[in-house]
Structure 1
């Protein structure tokens, strides 16, 4: 932890311990929240505020207004507002604030771009034409098949252990955000690719550093999300004629194809591990846009003549 100079910074450090011990937030969220709150501390010091009890809605709004003036995106402003609300709520519960000023903050609406997705034909081409020669070829096919076949996040994929895969029941046990565990169905192609990797690929790479990790890097340690992203981009480029996507793009594709195939929104929410149905509803817009595109291309009156 960085050195502190006032009581407000001490409160931020205590809040960090609370997030780690009781909220079990992801490392990414923890890092982002602490960066936001340290920035707030810097602004508060500039205007002469050094005590948690001196935080008020005017100061918080002025800080957020500065962020907006600096050109921060709506997504960043929304996250910073969420970080402040969590912090001031914690201070109020500890008795360091008489009232919670975070409750008076509005939340900037985030602009949600429609995610890029593969068509079902593109997904089939990618997975059917992949070069699977050698241990790394078997691993890479299994990585892509499991990402697309289950819709798991890349961090969740890399966190899988061998025992998390149940090929008999065709399920995989996933540890998601906030330490929430869920069981996700896995299709036959993905299960078969994972079995081939375990049988003929993993033994050739594993060593004393491998532990129970399902997917391994070239040196035998647990596969890192950065390496998994690199694998996805490289393998898509090798196949060609398939739009470049990240692992998150494969997750988007899996969700969209589930909805196109008739899956209900609640089931997709469970599979993806979304805490809120509102997040899953984004994919209904994706499907609607694709349906409109099909209509424009296929219906004789889908596009009016100029």
Structure 2
């Protein structure tokens, strides 16, 4: 059997415990992120968790992977609990646990030291994402100046998230060809997590926004190109570069300020706004879950903010 060439010593790229291990351990560590995780955001989050944990234990005298014990993982989780929210701590633990599972399967470690460690208790029945009232969302869309490519793009992107309940990641992954005609109606194809595709017919407002954007920016001939793009420096025209999520977030905050909206909204706010508005107008939770491509209505319930109205009404009964 052909032998793998020795890996270069990646002292800057890898945590010290991995960099000082043998070639097989280093390769297995790198394979975990390159081979087993396809979602870029998950990969970054798990890489950060693994790096933080391995650096943490090394600073406390642990000199090899085999010396890592459940007690170390438990103490790390306890320390994180004073710095992060429970969901964030659980995500960190999940990343480390999956990494050690992979190392155990590859016979780099005899047991998984994180397997028996419990994360913090957490139960969430109500989402924390800020949402807009329907009139606020309408004002935000109407105040966007669509006299140029940036305005056409921003209105189309925000409209897509509001009317199709699209995640920002799915929206920004779209190509021009993912806006298509079917049964004499415009549809959108969203690329969801896990490689799944989700198709939705367009609300008539969204159809107008997408058509104005694609035609106004002459994108129809670039079917394989990204749908939402950055603005090229000094030209005020669309570039060929996909719009990053950070840029989309900055755009949303900028548009909210221009529309005099005080709520600290983000990219995810429009998904929650669309779902809540749909349910307030007689939509069912089951259909909302289908439209949002949720595998369970329990996830959709986190976006349902109708109980907020009841709470406000009841608070006003305290007539003092």
Asked if the contact 1:130–1:235 (Cα under 8 Å) also holds between the matched residues in 2, the reply is yes
Deviation of 1:147 after TM superposition, in Å, equals 1.9
TM-score (norm 2): 0.78
Q: Which residue of 2 aligns with 1:254?
A: 274
Q: Which residue of 2 aligns with 1:179?
A: 195
| Cα 1:178/1:19, change in 2 over 3 Å | farther
Aligned pairs (5 A) from 1:99-248: 99-110=111-122, 114-168=128-182, 169-202=185-218, 212-219=225-232, 220-221=239-240, 222-241=242-261, 243-248=263-268
The answer as to 2:56 corresponding to 1:43 is yes
The answer as to 2:60 corresponding to 1:63 is no
Structure 2's unaligned 5+ residue stretches are 1-9, 233-238
| Structure 1 CA distance for aligned equivalents of residues 176 and 319 of structure 2 | 57
Q: CA RMSD of the aligned region, Å?
A: 3.1
Q: Which residue of 1 aligns with 2:309?
A: 290
Asked if the contact 2:33–2:47 (Cα under 8 Å) also holds between the matched residues in 1, the reply is no
Structure 1's unaligned 5+ residue stretches are none
| Structure 1 CA distance for aligned equivalents of residues 155 and 42 of structure 2 | 30
| Cα 1:13/1:265, change in 2 over 3 Å | farther
Deviation of 1:164 after TM superposition, in Å, equals 0.7
Number of residue pairs matched by the alignment: 295
| Structure 2 CA distance for aligned equivalents of residues 148 and 225 of structure 1 | 16
| Structure 1 CA distance for aligned equivalents of residues 24 and 280 of structure 2 | 51
| Structure 2 CA distance for aligned equivalents of residues 49 and 266 of structure 1 | 50
Deviation of 1:161 after TM superposition, in Å, equals 0.5
Asked if the contact 1:85–1:103 (Cα under 8 Å) also holds between the matched residues in 2, the reply is yes
More off after superposition, 261-270 vs 185-194 = 261-270
Q: Which residue of 1 aligns with 2:236?
A: none
Structure number having the greater helix percentage: 1
1:2-35 residue CA offsets vs partner (Å, 9 max, x unmatched): 15433399747624423432331x2222122112
Q: Which residue of 2 aligns with 1:23?
A: 37
More off after superposition, 146-155 vs 37-46 = 37-46
| Structure 1 CA distance for aligned equivalents of residues 155 and 70 of structure 2 | 52
| Structure 2 CA distance for aligned equivalents of residues 63 and 9 of structure 1 | 27
Asked if the contact 2:177–2:224 (Cα under 8 Å) also holds between the matched residues in 1, the reply is no
| Structure 2 CA distance for aligned equivalents of residues 36 and 62 of structure 1 | 15
| Cα 1:9/1:232, change in 2 over 3 Å | farther
Deviation of 1:179 after TM superposition, in Å, equals 2.6
Asked if the contact 1:8–1:41 (Cα under 8 Å) also holds between the matched residues in 2, the reply is no
Deviation of 1:100 after TM superposition, in Å, equals 3.6
Deviation of 1:61 after TM superposition, in Å, equals 0.7
Q: Which residue of 1 aligns with 2:86?
A: 74
Asked if the contact 2:130–2:264 (Cα under 8 Å) also holds between the matched residues in 1, the reply is no
1:210-244 residue CA offsets vs partner (Å, 9 max, x unmatched): 96121222221222222222322222222335645
